[in-house]
Structure 1
Amino acid sequence: MHFTDQTVSVIVGGQTGIGRAVADALSERPGRVLVASRRNGLDIADPAAVERYFEQLGPVDHVVFTAGSQAPGGKLADVNLADAKAAFDVKFWGTLAVARAAAKHLRPGGTLTLTSGFLARRTVPGTIVKTAMNAALEAVAKILARELAPIRVNVVSPGLTDTEAYAGMDAGARSAMLDRAATSLPVGRYGRAEDLAQGYLLAIDNPFMTGAIIDIDGGALIN
């Protein structure tokens, strides 16, 4: 896509991790890059707040949603359903709130790029909430690609990526987890935020791509 000084890109959830890497990559191009997250006042679980945010922005060209949520793990019998619903409110319903609000302001040729995760299509016991949430996002993205056309809607599906999402882990446990991923994946390494950012740029730049799921998982789905 052609970027000019008037191009406006919005990264929802861009303060850290993958979102930050996307924002940094887009900042090397002409135009403005705006980062929206809870840290700077946008609660994506509040649809009215999301509507107000995009109304005050005016026309935009590219919207990238990378905000995540703390989805509870465990078997269904053990999952706290209130926590599961709270996770959906942020990542799933928050994504749809952003999509609905942003669609009213995206210029012709604009893009909306969402984020799922490899668990959407990888069967791993104990991940029922993450699997359901990400699979739902991938399903609705294809519908949005039809409903919002000619706005292009795509999804990036990350695998295990070394980001601040794991900052709360013990340093040794985090290192061991990443090392296990590096040895088990076909690519022989774990993901970095910069690797994932390239997928979002692909979705933005390729004018013949919509309704696509872009897997950047080191080969996790074929492992």
Structure 2
Amino acid sequence: MKVISARQAWHDAMHEDRPSALAVAAEAAALGKKGGPGERKVMVMLENHDGREVAKVYEIRTEGVQETRSGRRLTDARCAHMLAAGLVLVAIDSLPKSLRHLGNFMYSPVATGNDLGIAHGLAWLGSGLESLTDRRKQRAYWMAMAALQSHKMLVNGGEAMGPGAVCMLVEDRTGEKMNPQNWARDWQAIWDALCTHVDKLDKQALKPVAAVVQRLQDRGENQSEKAA
């Protein structure tokens, strides 16, 4: 896995089988742990557990004992990918549940409707718009979903939603006309507040993943310097 950014790492980590990646991450410390006079020798294998490939890390016994295990040795590249993915998944799991769902909606290739539903609630709660009149609040509630969709398109290389697209989404949910010609007067301030709130939540969700990405990048730079 190429570790370029927190957003990319979140996406790519979700391509990996979750138990496999976490199994490797759980044993990450063993790869560099000292045992006796030198470093412990370990072997990473893929084993079939009820039809699912699960990564296992074994210490290699070198004193007169030879073991035979079913499974295939991972290549260095695949092992590195799984380790990086596992570390990213552990970082994601450190987040509160609501932020995990928001991040999954934004970046996971296997995001679900449940991710969107929880992200929508999070985007609405805390937005500071609870004091609106009931009719405006109903529309602002669905504008929060539009703000999520708009942010997702923006951070994934697309364009943010314009007033017309937002009005169409709200109309589709509420069945009531929402005129984009009155956007600047009636809805711009609400939209700006929602977009700012979603951006803040996104940064919170990415924070632990960004820390992992930085460590992996620093490690890669140090290894390159030693090789040179």
With the length of structure 1 as denominator, give the TM-score of the two structures: 0.25
- Higher-Rg member (1/2): 2
The structure with the largest strand share of the pair is: 1
The structure with the largest helix share of the pair is: 2
